[in-house]
Structure 1
């Protein structure tokens, strides 16, 4: 083969590699509002007849203090804050410059009025509403127990 064919193939490969580096990296289970990042919204599987589920997630890269003020998902009738800062509505403060956790060991998001049991390895759409950060389309993952 003529040498220019190899140079052309090398040039194409180099351009493809450079383009891949220039594109933003996709990260599993990360969602972004205007002023913060939400990492891995998840809950454990629930037994038949369960009426609620605890949802965990992490908020970080917070550039402006915000509040989680609403949650909607097809798996539950509603949501509330449970644990240390329990309240019968979704109203959770997220301070600027800090990493904030919602998990079963402290304050957590509680889905209420489950419509069906949540099974391991299933995912469901979930909409998170923030006071300043707007609305974020996320995915709720049903996992085995894990430690955050």
Structure 2
């Protein structure tokens, strides 16, 4: 027969549960500008000969109208949206903008090397009003979450 838990052990367990309920959850795939949030930038692994990759991400919690004007990463020479020669996408206030998964196609072009599964690479999103958001581009194999 095991001994009953001590009063001290029960109090410690109760405090731990209360603390876990009060603290905010960690959000490793969220990046913030002054007026918006960028969630889970990701791409798929690329073949050795690939010249580009599609970047999927979500922008929400947009407090005021903005524009995504650039996307930069050391793994590519540039970026474009839907076949245009650059990035210039309106980000409306109060709405969610999803790139990839049915939304506009955001693409890194001129890849300098293949992107490998389970790796992550630096990524900067430049907004007209919100400034530059330093993010991480994860190389996944699943769908946008």
Q: Does residue 47 of the first structure (1) align with residue 44 of the second (2)?
A: no
| Residue-by-residue CA offset, 1:122-147 (whole Å, 9 max, x unaligned) | 10011111101111110000111415
SS at match of 2:105: strand
**Greater Cα offset, 102-111 or 43-52:** 102-111
Q: Is 1:143–2:140 an aligned residue pair?
A: yes
* Map 1:1-12 → 2, pairs under 5 A: none
- TM-score w.r.t. length of structure 1: 0.81
Structure 1 144/97 Cα, relative in aligned 2: closer, same or farther at 3 Å?
same
* TM-score, structure 2 normalization: 0.82
Q: Does the aligned pair in 1 maintain the 2:99–2:105 contact within 8 Å?
A: yes
Q: Which piece of structure 1 moves more, 61-70 or 6-15? A: 6-15
Any conservation in 2 of the 1:78–1:111 contact (CA below 8 Å)?
yes
Q: CA RMSD in A?
A: 2.4
Match for residue 30 of structure 1?
30
Aligned residues: 142
Gap runs ≥5 in structure 2: 1-5
